[in-house]
């Protein structure tokens, strides 16, 4: 017990070793021009290293390095106020413990961020959009509402669990076709632009999990369209409206749009000729603007639920849908079939693909988080 207590109390040499290690980066540069500074620094650093190595092995430090540090800091003050030596020594020990704890926390947080970036594609588990090192993405669900110290601490450890859970996914070979729905949701670029072609039957498969209301998904779709991704990959779209904890959705009218998209997929499944209404709806939402120059995604999100339904019906008429088809799409929109598809999509996204942000793409046997960039 006593040796361990000594480790906790005598943190001065450990704190000094860390500080000297950081200073050593700059001393190494300076010593190129003034070698005597490097030699003097190295002498002090070796002394601190010896002391720390003893402490790590729970042995008594056989150097007077700790006293040297205190003498260097308090020498002038103690000469005029000898009685201050003991309280100042205690304060120094306390500050050393705090410094070492903060340093270790910073190192662990850095390691956690790097592991998260490698395993999940983002350095921030809860808010991928706030990580400047990762591709732009929309975070899932609510923001972290932990307020107390213990809540934040608990969440910090939970994030470690999320990272280790995702590590196998990083080395896993992902096959997009394993997560396709039974209804057709493939992108045929020729439907959107006559100058483009449909992907060949032998083309590689891809899966694109997106939220109709997410701006990163909009930009990712545009990049895929302009780069020819949809011509080289047989891409299945999987609109997944991000659901909040209270049961609402992160983006207004996102769930309504997803329902129409899957209703159109069911209509295509039963029709002799493909209408591709779902793809056309998504293309307008992501790539076109209103008469006033407003991006349709922003405009659609600003509408009330009833106005959003009316707007989608207007778009369908623009695409040549008959009133019978529009009526059938309205029926399918609210049907148990579409509700079952949405439940299946949620299971694929959260439980099978383990997405941490949107968009998430599966192609070339890898999982890619965030904005697609050619």
Q: Are residues 278 and 360 in the same domain?
A: yes
Last residue of a domain, one of 47, 71, 103: 103
Q: Are residues 219 and 360 in the same domain?
A: yes
pLDDT in tens, 153-199: 777 777 777 777 777 777 789 999 999 999 989 999 888 888 888 88
Does residue 151 surpass a pLDDT of 80? no
139, containing H or E segment = strand 138-139
Q: Are residues 129 and 278 in the same domain?
A: no
H-state helical runs in the chain? 2-9, 12-30, 35-56, 65-80, 85-120, 149-171, 189-192, 215-227, 229-232, 254-270, 277-287, 296-301, 305-318, 323-333, 336-347
CA dihedral of 284, 290, 295, 300, whole degrees rounded to 10 = -70
Q: Are residues 273 and 338 in the same domain?
A: yes
Q: Are residues 155 and 231 in the same domain?
A: no
Residue 317 inside a domain? The answer is yes
- Round to whole Å and give the CA distance between 233 and 206: 6
Residue 1's pLDDT is 39
Residue 103's pLDDT is 67
Q: Are residues 184 and 55 in the same domain?
A: no
Last residue of a domain, one of 48, 68, 103: 103
**Locate tokens 């603007």: which residue?**
289
Task: List CB contacts of 340: < 8 A, sequence separation 6 or more.
Answer: none
Q: What is the CATH number of the domain that holds 203?
A: 3.40.30.10
Residue 175's pLDDT is 95
Q: Are residues 61 and 128 in the same domain?
A: no
Task: List CB contacts of 312: < 8 A, sequence separation 6 or more.
Answer: 256, 257, 260, 281
Q: Are residues 152 and 213 in the same domain?
A: no
Which residue segment(s) compose the domain that 143 sits in?
111-168
Q: Average the pLDDT over each of 51-55, 289-293, 316-320, 331-335 and give the range with the smallest value.
A: 51-55
Q: Are residues 211 and 357 in the same domain?
A: yes
- Round to whole Å and give the CA distance between 235 and 114: 30
Residue 261 inside a domain? The answer is yes
Q: Is residue 112 very low, low, confident or very high in pLDDT (cuts 50, 70, 90)?
A: confident
Last residue of a domain, one of 168, 196, 212: 168
Q: Are residues 215 and 331 in the same domain?
A: yes
Q: Are residues 185 and 307 in the same domain?
A: yes
pLDDT in tens, 61-75: 555 555 556 555 555
Number of domains making up the chain: 3
Q: Are residues 182 and 239 in the same domain?
A: yes
Residue 374 inside a domain? The answer is no
Contact, 132 vs 139, CB < 8 A? no
Does residue 348 surpass a pLDDT of 60? yes
pLDDT in tens, 192-251: 888 888 888 889 999 999 999 999 999 999 999 999 999 999 999 999 999 987 778 999
Residue 193 inside a domain? The answer is yes
């Amino acid at each position: 017990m006593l040796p361990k207590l000594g480790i906790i109390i005598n943190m001065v040499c450990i704190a000094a070793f860390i500080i000297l290690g950081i200073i050593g980066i700059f001393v190494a540069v300076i010593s190129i021009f003034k070698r005597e500074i490097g030699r003097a620094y190295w002498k002090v650093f070796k002394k601190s290293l010896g002391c720390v190595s003893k402490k790590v092995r729970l042995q008594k430090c056989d150097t007077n390095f700790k006293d040297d540090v205190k003498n260097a800091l308090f020498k002038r003050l103690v000469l005029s106020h000898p009685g201050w030596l003991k309280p100042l020594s205690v304060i120094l020990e306390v500050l050393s413990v705090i410094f070492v704890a903060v340093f270790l926390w910073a190192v662990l947080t850095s390691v956690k961020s790097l592991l998260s970036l490698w395993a999940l594609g983002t350095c921030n588990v809860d808010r991928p959009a706030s990580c400047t090192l990762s591709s732009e993405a929309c975070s899932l669900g609510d923001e972290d509402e932990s307020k107390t110290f213990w809540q934040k601490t608990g969440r910090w450890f939970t994030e470690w669990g999320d990272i280790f859970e995702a590590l196998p996914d990083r080395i896993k070979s992902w096959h997009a076709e394993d997560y396709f729905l039974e209804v057709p949701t493939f992108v045929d670029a020729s439907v959107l632009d006559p100058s483009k072609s449909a992907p060949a039957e032998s083309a590689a498969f891809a899966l694109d999990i997106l939220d109709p209301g997410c701006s990163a998904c909009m930009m990712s779709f545009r990049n895929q369209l302009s780069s020819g991704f949809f011509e080289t990959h047989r891409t299945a779209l999987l609109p997944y409206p991000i659901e909040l904890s209270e049961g609402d959705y992160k983006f207004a009218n996102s769930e309504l749009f997803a329902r129409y998209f899957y209703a159109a997929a069911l209509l295509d499944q039963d029709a002799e000729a493909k209408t591709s209404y779902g793809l056309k709806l998504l293309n307008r939402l992501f790539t076109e603007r209103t008469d006033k120059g407003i991006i349709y995604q922003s405009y659609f999100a600003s509408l009330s639920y009833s106005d959003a339904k009316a707007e989608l019906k207007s778009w369908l008429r623009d695409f040549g849908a008959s009133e019978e088809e529009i009526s059938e799409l309205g029926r399918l929109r609210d049907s148990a079939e579409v509700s079952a598809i949405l439940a299946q999509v949620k299971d694929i996204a959260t439980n099978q693909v383990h997405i941490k942000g949107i968009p998430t793409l599966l192609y070339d046997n890898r999982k890619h988080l965030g904005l697609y960039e050619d």
